[in-house]
Amino acid sequence: MTRNKTSKAWMQQHVTDHWVQQAQARGYRSRAAFKLLEIHEKDQLFRRGMTVVDLGSTPGSWSQVARELVGDEGRLFALDILPMDPLPRVDFIQGDFREDKVLAELESRLAGRQVDLVISDIAPNLSGNRTTDQARSIYLNELALDFASRWLRPGGHFVVKVFQGEGYPDFMEQMRQHFKQVLTRKPKASRDKSTEVYLLGKSCLVNSAGAVDNEDSPA
């Protein structure tokens, strides 16, 4: 199949996709919103008043869901190296979350608040080389995990998209070193052929300040 035919086939599948149509009907920026909603419905991730950080937030569908679920009393901080169209009551910071300047800006905006939940639907730009793309994906996962382990309060939670393949078992083990429990989720809105799953790290054990979670998270 030529590239043009492949593109047309993908577009036809996209516009007729149930989740794409639902996202358009409900005003979500992408079908990915339903993945986070399903995880929340199963695991009760969010509660009103939470402080949440969305890593790799663009185009913003996860931020839309999180904003709805934390309510007006909650705070949501979204970070992405790409621009994101503004969303009401979402603090967006454009930049690389590994850079000191971006982290200093986040710390300033947090104003002493502790982070209850880090969510990450981040993925690399695909090259078409499966081995290279998988390595890039795991690398981003590791960066997101490092961020979560530094910024989460003890007992906080972390959700991250992971592609199964080379490096996946090792990353799962890294998750287990930082959280009391690590669960695997495959939302219905994930395409059947995709190797993506979502890992949920429940109850962060220790943060960069050395604080330890000695009790079950109230979330």
Positions marked catalytic = 161
Residue 96 labeled ligand binder: yes
Q: Which residue has the tokens 């503004």?
A: 86
Structure tokens at 155: 């007992």
Residue 17 labeled ligand binder: no
Phi, psi of 201 (to 5 degrees): -95, 115
The answer to whether the beta carbons of residues 34 and 19 sit under 8 Å apart is yes
Angle at 200 between CA 199 and CA 203, to 5 degrees: 145
Annotated binding site for S-adenosyl-L-methionine: 60, 62, 80, 96, 121
Binding residues: 60, 62, 80, 96, 121
